Amino acid sequence: MVNREQEGVSRRHFLKGLGVGVVGLNISDPVSAAARLLSSQEMEEGRTVRRMGGNENPIGPSPKAIEAVAAQLSGLNWYPYQPDLELAIHRFHGIDVPTSERIAWAGLKTTIIENGHVVTGIGSTEVLRAAAWAYLLGGGHVIQGQPSYTEISDSARKLGDQVTVSSINLKPDLTYDLDAMKMAIRPDTRIITLCNPNNPTGHLLSHDELGSFIDAIDPRILIVIDEAYIHFVEDPSYQDAMEFAKTRPNVLVTRTFSKGYGIAGLRAGYGVAHPDVIKKIRAYTLGPLGMHSNSITGAVAALDDQDHLGRTRRAVVEGRAYLVRAFENMKMKPVAGQGNFVLVDTGRDSQEVFEDLLRRDILITPGSRWSLPTFIRVSVGLPEDNEAIVAALRA
């Protein structure tokens, strides 16, 4: 058994190998000290529970994000009126957008984005919810895969009986049945939603598959592609769906800063689409004052920290491969996915497995949540986390 002292050493060794070394604290500069302390993950040393159920970032938040947030804390008394994050996302995705300066509320000189392609939100959750309400407030029909991430349909159902949802079962290999989804289209269909890579399976649709599917859909139907896990795709040549969002009139691609960038606690996400789609969706978000200054500042800095994103990807890809091999060696059936998690058929009741692991202070998600009674979803952790759950499942 690994004791806490050994665990701390292995954690520091692993993070150092990823280029996130533990930095000595300078108590004369408490803000910088706190940022370095958090970025080195020292705050996690004494944890008693291994969080492997929420698909969180195993190596922690972007150090640049922490330092940027710490540096601006003295300005928390001011409202964040400037569109800094939207501008940063436009630049990041190579989208040219005209801007102007004008005097806005309270006499502040504010940058105005003209016909923007980006909407930000309190996590991608707010963007997905706003899309559902914008397109379904007057009623309509949603098509989704089953199992998959269901924020669109969950939000749509809150609008009442005038909204209906068709959940299309995945194929036996747990991939999307795109043909069946096309066959489910009705005159009142307003949204088709895809999670790519899919959650909870991790399966990835190819760029060509997505393009062919989009081409076959009436452009009056909004196609939502949730790319929350796109940063964990192993193939570096994979082409994501952003080009569709930039060039098609009916494609919304959403992303989050919670997974790859490691700032889930700041709750920041965004969507990219045609300006007409963005304008329609933005009317149902909380707007400029929805996100607080810490979220905006942290997300802008995280977007600039591609080194941290690369370290996260390496940790996840290596950990994911380790878990898949270990599960296969135990005669379980893991799904070869591309997320920061592994869905695996244990051959046992998933709720019983969940409770057994919980008694060992390991949190996972039971497949009963998705009507997969013998599956569990395991978020990739640091090496000692991955080793601990393998040892627990072998016990």
Q: What is the pLDDT of residue 46?
A: 54
Q: Return d(Cα 85, Cα 108) in angstroms, integer.
A: 18
If asked whether residues 269 and 187 sit together in one domain, one would say yes
Please check whether residues 389 and 283 belong to one and the same domain.
Answer: no
Which run of H or of E encompasses 36? helix 30-39
pLDDT of residue 45: 52
Same structural domain, 249 and 355: no
Which of helix, strand or coil describes residue 100?
strand
- Name residue 178's amino acid: L
DSSP codes, 168-202: EEPPTTS---HHHHHHT--TTEEEEEEESS-TTT-
**Structural domains of the chain, count:** 2
Question: What domain range includes position 184?
Answer: 79-303
Is the domain of 44 the same as that of 135? no
Closest by alpha carbon to 215, among 169, 242, 182, 191?
A: 182
Q: Would you give the end-to-end CA distance of the chain in angstroms?
A: 12
149 lies in the same domain as 275: yes
Fill in the amino acid letter for 233.
V
Same domain, 291 and 312: no
In a domain, 206, yes or no: yes
**Domain stops at, among 269, 303, 337:** 303
Residues 287 and 322 in one domain: no
Q: Confirm whether 237 is domain-assigned.
A: yes
User: Hey, what are 10's tokens?
Assistant: 């292995």
**Among 244, 273, 303, residue at a domain's last position:** 303
Helices (H) and strands (E) in the chain, counts: 14, 15
Whether 103 is covered by a domain: the verdict is: yes
d(C-alpha 113, C-alpha 153), whole Å: 30
d(CA 225, CA 283): 20
180-211 in b/e burial notation, b at 16+ Cβ within 10 A?
A: ebeebbeeebbbbbbbbbbbbbbbbbebeebb
Answer yes or no: do 267 and 368 share one domain. Answer: no
Residue 184 lies in a domain: yes
Residue pLDDT tens, the chain, 395 long: 444 444 444 554 555 555 554 333 333 454 554 444 444 444 445 557 899 999 999 999 999 999 999 998 998 888 888 899 999 999 999 999 999 998 877 788 888 899 999 999 999 999 999 999 999 999 999 999 999 999 999 999 999 999 999 999 999 999 999 999 999 999 999 999 999 999 999 999 999 999 999 999 999 999 999 999 999 999 878 999 999 999 999 999 999 999 999 999 999 999 999 999 999 999 999 987 788 899 999 999 999 999 999 999 999 999 999 999 999 999 999 998 999 999 999 999 999 999 999 999 999 999 999 999 999 999 999 999 999 999 999 98
* Same domain? 339 vs 278: no
Q: Select from 278, 303, 328 the last residue of a domain.
A: 303
Residue 135 shares a structural domain with residue 243: yes
Phi–psi pair at 232, nearest 5 degrees: -105, 10
Mark 297-332 as b/e (b = at least 16 C-beta within 10 Å).
Answer: bbbbbbbbbeebbebbbebbbebbebbbebbeeeeb
Cα gap 86→113, rounded to integer Å? 9
Q: For position 25, what pLDDT does the model report?
A: 34
- Pair (211, 230) in one structural domain: yes
Our measurement of the distance from residue 381's CA atom to the centroid of its chain's CA atoms, rounded to an integer in Å, reads 16
Q: How far apart are CA 368 and CA 159, in angstroms?
A: 26
In a domain, 74, yes or no: no
Q: Is 129 contained in some domain?
A: yes
Alpha-carbon distance of 37 to 390, in angstroms, equals 29
117 lies in a domain? yes
Using alpha carbons, list the distances in angstroms from residue 168 to 253, 255, 285, 393.
Answer: 21, 23, 28, 32
Q: Do residues 290 and 284 lie in contact, with contact meaning Cβ atoms separated by under 8 Å?
A: no
CATH number at residue 198: 3.40.640.10
The amino acid at residue 300 is V
Task: Tell me which residue of 270, 301, 309, 344 sits closest to 52, measured CA to CA.
Answer: 344
Helix (H) or strand (E) holding 252: strand 251-256
Q: Is residue 265 part of a domain?
A: yes
Here the tokens at position 356 are: 């057994």
Are residue 85 and residue 123 in the same domain, yes or no?
Answer: yes
CATH of the domain at 347: 3.90.1150.10
| pLDDT value for 110 | 87
